[in-house]
Chains A and B, each alone.
Chain A
Amino acid sequence: MEYLIGIQGPDFVLVAADNVAASSIIQMKHDYDKMFKLSEKILLLCVGEAGDTVQFAEYIQKNVQLYKMRNGYELSPSAAANFTRKNLADYLRSRTPYHVNLLLAGYDDADGPGLYYMDYLSSLAKAPFAAHGYGAFLTLSILDRHYRPDLTRDEALDLLKKCVEELRKRFILNLHSFTVRLIDKEGIHDLEKLTAGAK
């Protein structure tokens, strides 16, 4: 039902998420933001079971901010991803596992951009591009075909638009609009939303 996508370039990460908050067959909200800002250069995209997403993402968000307050410097994206994975793993075999699928995108001043794919079974993989949701079945092959490690920002945005276009054409659900954000060494930038009107 929900869709997340991330594309890593040589010095940036481009991420997008759909804007629908649904409850059984009804769209309750058309402009819901599924991205959580963990720090100045890290975004956590979170989809999954209704309450678990916000609870888990806010828990991670507050812990990352606490780390910064205690130690005076921010966690790197790789450390934040591993911390998130550890929390998912700890809760996995408890009474209350969190059923959430995540993409963590960040820019490290030392290591450069990074995109981390995590799922509800607490697997973790650093990937050049990734997607979550039923829409991933339709768009991963487009990414496989057209992705190059040296994409420019415009090319990455075009690739993202190709994926969204394919969803609009073939996906049974109506995902009307997508929030798009770009992370680079300057921080997180909001790009224009992709809506049904735009190409």
Chain B
Amino acid sequence: MALQELCNFQDIFQDSITTLCSSVPFGRKTGCDYVSGLPFSNRTNLFNFFTPVAEYLDESPIQFGQISTIQSSSAISSQDSILSSLAVPTSLPLASSQSVPLPFPMSHGTTTLAFMFQGGVLAAADTRSSCSGLVACPASQKILPIHSHLVGTTSGTSADCALWKRILARELRLYQLRHGRRLSTSGAAKLLSHMLHPFKGTELCVAATLCGWDGGEVDGGAKTDLSGRRETTKSQMTDLEKTSLAETKTQSSASITGGQQCSARKRVSLSGPSLCYVCSDGTRLQGALFSVGSGSPYAYSILDQGVRWGLTVDEATSIAREAVYRATHRDAYSGNCVDVYHISSKGWIRRSREDLKEEYYREKERQERRERQDVTPPE
């Protein structure tokens, strides 16, 4: 493959046991030490996956400088493939020189949010990708589905997020094939966190909120549970409008056989909505409400006022939209449109994308109408 030749792929994998310094043509002492620390150098089993390592990652991570200095620059995102992210480091030094010092490091130019309520999990995000202070793409997708019942909001570098989401999707699928059941959301979060840990201290920047619905495990051979599972899997097969992946059918059949396997084991595990925040600096938190990005403080203030467990789906959608709208109004790095995803026991459903410009004009009209009403009575 052309990409493999570009990244000197064969040399890395053939000499996995011996030290790489002599055979790998990186040519730098620090590079050798760094390469041996990478995840795929020594392990031969589960995590022996190929990640195209761009040339600039040859260098020791300490030479890049720590994450805080990178974060003080505006978030650099690019919607294209990984190769285009090679262009990113050259623009970094320009972006990090600011005329006005920031009060605290601004990071991840975006607004994404997710919260749990009685109807499942709701995830919302804006659609603006910014790069060094200009809008690189006004219609990007920041919420990426991973599988039928798991969705991840992305924040940080778009390319990194897209890649790691795909790697996570692959690893989750492999897990499901090997163990006959779907990995829970917190398990997926732990997996992603451990996969990102070796890259700590480098420029890799991924801050994702994994929102999913964990399927119930079968415990003790109870018949009702098995039939319950079959019902949900049947409804999965009929109600999933958006997922056009062929593998959902095989997923549900795999989960049925998995359920029959599990009936022998006495297992009670949690089922229902689940929300986990994973960051490339190593943070992994499980909770009920998260907002990530430069617009997150604005979104938090709206959400903290209105989010309760007992919301209906419509109420939850409207408060999520409102929170993203307010954040895009105040934050320069968020804007354009809003995407809303709802994850329930049947899988994820995506609302059509809405342009927030319309919302802004609607609100202006409402305000003008109110002012006119206030003015007329005294007359």
Within 8 A of B (CB), among A14-38: 21, 23-26, 28-29, 32
Stretch of B85-93, B157-165, B280-288, B321-329 on the interface side:
B280-288
Question: B283 contacts which of A50, A95, A96 (Cβ < 8 Å)?
Answer: A50
How far does the alpha carbon of A157 sit from the alpha carbon of B107 in the complex, in Å? 41
| CB–CB A28/B285 < 8 A | yes
| CB–CB B285/A26 < 8 A | no
| CB–CB B297/A25 < 8 A | yes
With an 8 A cutoff between CB atoms, is A108 at the interface? no
| CB–CB B300/A95 < 8 A | no
Question: B297 contacts which of A26, A29, A49 (Cβ < 8 Å)?
Answer: A26
With an 8 A cutoff between CB atoms, is B348 at the interface? no
Give chain A nearest CB distance to B201 CB in angstroms. Answer: 7
| CB–CB A95/B285 < 8 A | no
Please give, as numbers and ranges, the residues of chain A lying within 8 Å of B287 by CB-CB distance.
28-29
With an 8 A cutoff between CB atoms, is A55 at the interface? yes
Give chain A nearest CB distance to B293 CB in angstroms. Answer: 11
Give the number of residues in B that approach A within 8 Å (Cβ atoms). 25
Within 8 A of A (CB), among B298-328: 300
Give the number of residues in A that approach B within 8 Å (Cβ atoms). 17
Give chain B nearest CB distance to A124 CB in angstroms. Answer: 24
Give chain B nearest CB distance to A83 CB in angstroms. Answer: 21
Question: B290 contacts which of A28, A51, A55, A96 (Cβ < 8 Å)?
Answer: A28
| CB–CB B33/A29 < 8 A | no
With an 8 A cutoff between CB atoms, is A119 at the interface? no
With an 8 A cutoff between CB atoms, is A52 at the interface? yes
Within 8 A of B (CB), among A21-75: 21, 23-26, 28-29, 32, 49-55
Q: A52's closest neighbor in chain B, by CB?
A: B282
How far does the alpha carbon of A172 sit from the alpha carbon of B285 in the complex, in Å? 25
Please give, as numbers and ranges, the residues of chain A lying within 8 Å of B112 by CB-CB distance.
none
With an 8 A cutoff between CB atoms, is B140 at the interface? no
Looking at chain B's contact residues, the main secondary structure is mixed
With an 8 A cutoff between CB atoms, is B105 at the interface? yes
Q: B278's closest neighbor in chain A, by CB?
A: A51
With an 8 A cutoff between CB atoms, is B52 at the interface? no
How far does the alpha carbon of A18 sit from the alpha carbon of B107 in the complex, in Å? 26
How far does the alpha carbon of A23 sit from the alpha carbon of B285 in the complex, in Å? 11
Please give, as numbers and ranges, the residues of chain A lying within 8 Å of B277 by CB-CB distance.
28
Q: A30's closest neighbor in chain B, by CB?
A: B287
Quick one: CB contact mask for B333-354 with A, threshold 8 Å, 1 for yes?
0000000000000000000000
| CB–CB A55/B197 < 8 A | yes
Please give, as numbers and ranges, the residues of chain B lying within 8 Å of A54 by CB-CB distance.
282, 284
Please give, as numbers and ranges, the residues of chain A lying within 8 Å of B74 by CB-CB distance.
none
Within 8 A of A (CB), among B123-165: none
| CB–CB A51/B60 < 8 A | no
Quick one: CB contact mask for B52-74 with A, threshold 8 Å, 1 for yes?
00000000111000000000000
Give chain A nearest CB distance to B279 CB in angstroms. Answer: 7
Please give, as numbers and ranges, the residues of chain B lying within 8 Å of A28 by CB-CB distance.
277, 283, 285, 287, 290
Q: B288's closest neighbor in chain A, by CB?
A: A29
How far does the alpha carbon of A96 sit from the alpha carbon of B39 in the complex, in Å? 14
How far does the alpha carbon of A181 sit from the alpha carbon of B284 in the complex, in Å? 23
Give chain A nearest CB distance to B26 CB in angstroms. Answer: 15
Q: A56's closest neighbor in chain B, by CB?
A: B282
With an 8 A cutoff between CB atoms, is B200 at the interface? yes
| CB–CB A24/B281 < 8 A | no
Give chain A nearest CB distance to B340 CB in angstroms. Answer: 22
Please give, as numbers and ranges, the residues of chain B lying within 8 Å of A49 by CB-CB distance.
281-282
How far does the alpha carbon of A54 sit from the alpha carbon of B287 in the complex, in Å? 16
- Given A24-B105, A95-B60, A96-B37, also A29-B282 (CB < 8 A): no
- Given A24-B105, A29-B287, A51-B200, also A95-B37 (CB < 8 A): yes
With an 8 A cutoff between CB atoms, is B193 at the interface? yes
With an 8 A cutoff between CB atoms, is B50 at the interface? no
| CB–CB B34/A50 < 8 A | no
How far does the alpha carbon of A138 sit from the alpha carbon of B300 in the complex, in Å? 31
Within 8 A of B (CB), among A137-191: none
Please give, as numbers and ranges, the residues of chain A lying within 8 Å of B361 by CB-CB distance.
none
With an 8 A cutoff between CB atoms, is B185 at the interface? no
Please give, as numbers and ranges, the residues of chain A lying within 8 Å of B200 by CB-CB distance.
51, 96
Please give, as numbers and ranges, the residues of chain B lying within 8 Å of A53 by CB-CB distance.
282
Within 8 A of A (CB), among B170-228: 193, 197, 200-201
| CB–CB B297/A50 < 8 A | no
| CB–CB B281/A51 < 8 A | yes
With an 8 A cutoff between CB atoms, is B296 at the interface? yes
How far does the alpha carbon of A23 sit from the alpha carbon of B7 in the complex, in Å? 35
Residues of B within 8 A of A (CB): 33-34, 37, 60-62, 104-105, 107, 193, 197, 200-201, 277, 279, 281-285, 287, 290, 296-297, 300
Ordered nearest first, which 5 A-B pairs have the shortest CB separation?
A51-B282, A50-B283, A50-B281, A50-B282, A24-B104
Q: List 8 A-B contacts (CB under 8 A).
A: A21-B283, A29-B285, A29-B287, A49-B282, A50-B282, A51-B193, A51-B279, A51-B284
